[in-house]
Amino acid sequence: MKVLITTSGLGTRIGEYTKYINKSLVSIGDKPAICHIIESYSKESSFVITLGYLGDLVKQFIEMTYPEREIYFSYVDVYKGAGSSLLYSIICAKEFLQEPFIFHACDTIISNPSAITENWIGCSKVVPNSSCYRSVNVDNKYIKSINDKGEITYDYEFVGVFGIKNYERFWDISDDILEEKDCPSDYDILDIMIKEFDFEYQVFDYWLDIGNSNSLSIARKETPSQFNILPKERESIFFVENKVIKFFYDKDVCRNRVDRALSLKGVVPAITSSSENFYSYSFTEGDLFSEIVNPKKISDLLTWAKQKLWCKFDVYDKATFVDSCYSFYKEKTINRINEFFTINSSYDKEDVINGMKIPTVMSMIESINFEVLCDSEPTVFHGDFILDNIIYSKEEGFTLIDWRQDFAGDLHLGDMKYDLAKLNHSIFLNHKILMQDNFTIEYFDDSILTDILVSKNLVDCKNVIMKFCEENNISYKQIDILTSLIWLSMAPLHHHPLDKFLFYFGKYNLYNSLIGLK
């Protein structure tokens, strides 16, 4: 079979999800929608994929993920505004489809489409009403009519997949319609073709639609991820077969991550493939550390990290490294806080949080002795040393994933105190806790209540970190301050209500760290 998948549109109906990535790459479960589509066909099938909006990201991903598949790319020059349409995108692929083919919309996930022995249209009764979908009426084994959206009397919903045996006539009709109508679609062609040819109908009991925000939400609930991963706007992580594939909208971040993998050789997985916006590595077998952590294992991790990760540098420029720490800890935090205020149209002020009067966050930051905080010896660093980025197995020991791309622009020198602060942060705010909404942010007339549910096991793990700091002449108070700065810096990177929680929880804890209540 030859299958046409159109990914050229803007995907505006699912809103912010397509701001930085193409609709076909939006995650459903652990992998993008387009993976569900491609893998529903036999490995002998070939594909034609139209590229338009953020099309280069689609091409990079497909080439990295399916190098063994036969895939052709068709470039759509007009994919938005005047002259753009689904039919125009289809016609751009005409040269690759001079034979019977299947059209498969990139926002439709079904199971086991049939080969083309006759013309056919994919149908379903999964969706309870057709207000958002076209529909069909049938007579015995054939389609009798195809209806526009909103039809009340119908037999099945149209799922956005069809097979074309009479391809020559398909292209003739397509050319004619494109000249006559301003914004033609596949519906216009099928409406004519079913009057000229017999079209069988295939009924799919399994159908997920991700074409609008509501249906996308439903699809994600029906196909949950196996992993606790916090969504981020400008990056994604996918799991396809035995590959882990990371996406970064920022090409510099991706390139630096790949470069840093060489510096972290032996403690992170080896990169197997990379492009401007993606890299991949083999899936690491083992337990996610956040699922098995206990005080003994935290102690083992810290001993391992001291030996294998936090290796010191014999030669470095002290002043330059101190400047890097200052930039990373103070300037970056202030920039992130200002970003939070801009996003939320708010300003820095005193707040009553958990019954305590807390001064402005900027005044607290100015009171921090950054000269002491930045007085560190540089080491190799991970940069996002959290429970959810650590894999453990009895055979391989510890493996670190999802490392940070730099430390204030430096790809090699970092501060182990920052790694300790990230670990400390994840004791309280690991992905599982956040994904289960086990945090509280409540607003009253003159105060704010913020708290989080943490197990006794995790509290005991924090005490192990404190003991490690004491034994290695590291100030835990500095780790505590850095932990609060991390929460403040994270706030603008997440959606409501997590953003507000992170800000006020970070502000409250920073105050307690500074006045010594902890």
pLDDT (tens digit per residue) in 387-405: 999 999 999 999 999 999 9
Please determine, for residue 154, whether its predicted confidence score (pLDDT) is greater than 80: yes
Residue type, 372: V
Confidence of residue 494 (pLDDT cuts 50, 70, 90): confident
Residue by residue, DSSP assigns 201-253 as: EEE-S-EEE-SSHHHHHHHHHHS--SS-----SSEEEEEETTEEEEEESSHHH
Q: Tell me 327's DSSP state.
A: I
Q: Do 159 and 207 touch, CB atoms closer than 8 A?
A: yes
Write phi, then psi, for 271 (nearest 5 degrees): -70, 130
Rounded-to-integer distance, Cα 368 and Cα 475, Å: 14
Give the per-residue pLDDT at 128.
Answer: 59
Spell 350-368 as b/e; 16+ CB within 10 A means b: ebebeeeebeebeebbeeb
Q: From 17, 198, 181, select the one nearest 91 (Cα to Cα).
A: 181
* Percent of the chain surpassing pLDDT 90: 84
Give the per-residue pLDDT at 233.
Answer: 82
Rounded-to-integer distance, Cα 104 and Cα 161, Å: 5
Rounded-to-integer distance, Cα 50 and Cα 204, Å: 25
Give the per-residue pLDDT at 418.
Answer: 98
For range 16-21, the mean pLDDT: 92
Q: Do 427 and 462 touch, CB atoms closer than 8 A?
A: yes
Residue by residue, DSSP assigns 345-380 as: T-----EEETTEEE--HHHHHHHS-HHHHT----B-
Rounded-to-integer distance, Cα 460 and Cα 142, Å: 67
Q: Do 79 and 177 touch, CB atoms closer than 8 A?
A: no
Please determine, for residue 517, whether its predicted confidence score (pLDDT) is greater than 60: no
pLDDT (tens digit per residue) in 422-465: 999 999 988 778 778 889 999 999 999 999 998 999 999 999 99
Collapsing DSSP states into helix, strand and coil, what is residue 262?
A: helix
Give the per-residue pLDDT at 373.
Answer: 96
Mean pLDDT (the chain) is 94
CA end-to-end distance (rounded Å), the chain: 65
Q: In angstroms, what CA-CA distances link 374 with 304, 368, 418?
A: 24, 11, 11
Q: Tell me 410's DSSP state.
A: B
Q: CA 240, 246, 249: angle at the middle one, nearest 5?
A: 135
